[in-house]
Every structure is written in structure tokens, then in C-alpha cells.
Amino acid sequence: MGFEILGSYVWDFWFAWDDETIHMFFLTAPKTSEHADLRHPHARIGHATSHDLMTWKYEGIVLGPSEQTGWDDGTTWTGSVVKSPDGKWMMFYTGTQLSESRKYQRIGAAVSDDLFTWTRLGRAPLLEVDPEIYETYDPSRWHDQAFRDPWVYPDPGGHGWRMIFTARVKDGLPGGSGVIGQASSPDLLTWKAEKPLFSIGHYGEMEVPQIFELNGWWFCLFSNATRHMEPAYLATGKTGVVTGTHYIRSREPSGPFELVEDRFFGGDAIGSFYGGRFLRTPAGTPVFLAFLNHRADGSFVGAISDPMPIWTTSEGYLRIDGRQYGMALQSEMSIA
């Protein structure tokens, strides 16, 4: 098992390289007698460091809900880290508010000089739902306002910065309204929401997205659980009964992206893995990590895997080797 904290759960995670050190940030909450699904309101953002992605040093909690009333006094959830042009690190993260029963999600940021000590960037979020584009909270359609998991990266065309995130659109069936949302910024501070990067009508949520390039293809990872699929799509049997990480792809970073296979490349019926991330080792080898989600009996693990090989087939399909964890992969594995 790659990374775990005794007495605590660990799940969604993201990375930042600083020279030869990899910094991993993640959600963590104490293990209690409550059901593991109730961990989310207690989540804090933790920090660990490594030089090889195998051996980790836990560095403690770096960010939790604000002690002042505001947009993130309820929870601090999943995000990403980038280095700004002025040399400071910026962590974009998801926040919710206690007075709203943690139902409304917004995106804000914290800053750091060294990746260890973080300070909130003001007292307001940087990006909120644009109701002209994305669904706002409607309990008749979904259990919360899905607007989270910001993944920020330099615009490949050189025009500032881009962000993708988990969101929903207000048209379509409730179980199929999940999309990969997107926004743009010239300076990491001023953000403008744009139409979704991808929408297909199969999923209620497309969680923890990440964009990367591999072997001439641009891939966007996302995670989904069987219970959050559109029932009519699930009934076709194309995807199987599956929970885990999947992908869409394009020849261009701006799209259009397409779903080229229904079966997940990193999923199984148990839901062994979730929230998968792409990363390169210090030697430049592409690898895949995910948090260890469910055991065969359905109980929650709450740890992060060791790196696993990831590659593309000659047809450009994404594949991983999760056999070290006994994962029953939905997609047929053929090492090319």
C-alpha cells in the first residue's frame, strides 16, 4: 500500500513538483465508528512529500475550513496546485458553507512560498456557478450543487490559464447531467466560466478531472460510480457494473473530446480504485495512482496506491496495470 495515515482516511489527492521533491496534497479525516461515507464533512487537506512516489513523509494538515464565517467555513475539498509567474504557489480548492448545509460548492485559492505553509487568498471565492451555463442547487434533480475539483493548468496555446472542474448542466436527465466544466483566466485571479469541455448525458457526475498529454493524445480523466450513472445508459450494459476512473480523449487540448470506449480503463464492480491521477516519475516514466476505495466486502479503505504503469495502445486507448492490487479491470489489458 502506497500511502496511508494510521487512524485516518485518505482519499482525493493532487501533486506539485518542486525541484526533486514531489508534494502530495489530499483529503483526510479521522476514522470513527460512523460509516466511512460520513467522512466528507470532516475532511481537511493534508500534505506529504516523496522523492520516488513510493516512500512518503506525512507533513501534517495544511488547510481546513475557515474559522471565520464565509464561503469555505463548512469544508475544504479537492483541488490542484500550480506555480504562478511571480514564483508563489497557488492551491485552488473547493469550499462549502455551514449556513448552506454544505450544499453549494465554490472554488477559491490559498497561496504559499514553500508548499508547507498556506494562506487563504482573500475571503471570497474566485469562481462560482454561472447559472446561465451550469446547474445550481436543485434538490429535485441532485443532492448538491456540483461545482468542485478544480484542475488548473497553463493554457497550452499560451493564453493565460485554464481550469476544468466537476459540474452539471440544467438540461437533460438528472442522472446524466454531469459534465466537465471549464473556465479561463489571464492571471490566475480573474476567472470566466465557459461552456463545458465535455458533455455526453451518461453520468450524474464526472469527478476529479485531470488533463494531460501522452503519446500524441490529450486525455481527460474523470471518476464515476455506478450509482451516479444515467439508468438508461447503465441498462444498455455497455459500461458494465463499474466504479472507478475513466477517460475522454482528443488530438487537441481544447477538444473536441470524445468517449472512445464505454468500459472504464481503471474500474471494476467493487470500486477498488477511485480519483485516479496521471503523473510522471522522476525518471519521466508515466504512471497512474488512485486512492484505494472499496474492499470486496464494500468497506472503505482510504489510502493511496503505489504508482502503476500507464500506457496507450496502438489505437490510442488508455490502459493501466492494477494487478498488484488484484483489481479486476473492466477493459481488456494487453501490454503494447
Provide the pLDDT confidence category of residue 322 given band limits of 50, 70 and 90: confident
- What residues contact residue 251 under an 8 Å CB cut-off, 6+ apart? 216, 217, 218
Provide the pLDDT confidence category of residue 333 given band limits of 50, 70 and 90: very low
pLDDT of residue 325: 76
Q: Measured between alpha carbons, how far is 158 from 194 in angstroms, rounded to an integer? A: 18
C-alpha distance from residue 321 to each of 266, 290, 333, 335 (Å)? 9, 12, 7, 9
Q: What is the pLDDT of residues 61-107, one digit of tens each?
A: 999 999 999 999 999 999 999 999 999 999 999 999 999 999 999 99
Q: How much of the chain, in percent, has pLDDT values that exceed 70?
A: 96
Q: Measured between alpha carbons, how far is 43 from 29 in angstroms, rounded to an integer? A: 5
Q: Measured between alpha carbons, how far is 122 from 112 in angstroms, rounded to an integer? A: 13
pLDDT of residue 328: 62
Q: Would you say residue 326 has pLDDT above 80?
A: no
Q: Would you say residue 316 has pLDDT above 70?
A: yes
Provide the pLDDT confidence category of residue 329 given band limits of 50, 70 and 90: low
Percentages of the chain per state (helix, strand, coil), in multiples of 5 = 5, 45, 45
CB-based contact 46:25 (threshold 8 Å): yes
Across the range 166-192, mean pLDDT stands at: 97
Across the range 153-166, mean pLDDT stands at: 96
pLDDT of residue 323: 81
pLDDT of residue 330: 55
CB-based contact 277:14 (threshold 8 Å): yes
Return the domain boundaries, the chain. Answer: 8-325
Q: Would you say residue 60 has pLDDT above 60?
A: yes
Across the range 189-206, mean pLDDT stands at: 98
CB-based contact 266:273 (threshold 8 Å): yes
Q: What is the pLDDT of residues 101-133, one digit of tens each?
A: 999 999 999 999 999 999 999 999 999 999 999
In this structure, whether the domain defined by 8-325 belongs to CATH 2.115.10.20 is answered with yes
Average pLDDT over the chain, rounded to whole?
95
> Rg of the chain over CA atoms, in angstroms?
19
pLDDT of residue 336: 35
Q: Would you say residue 331 has pLDDT above 80?
A: no
Q: Would you say residue 139 has pLDDT above 90?
A: yes
pLDDT of residue 1: 63
pLDDT of residue 318: 97
Q: Measured between alpha carbons, how far is 84 from 192 in angstroms, rounded to an integer? A: 18
C-alpha distance from residue 170 to each of 115, 136, 141, 200 (Å)? 37, 8, 9, 13
CB-based contact 138:146 (threshold 8 Å): no
Across the range 279-293, mean pLDDT stands at: 96
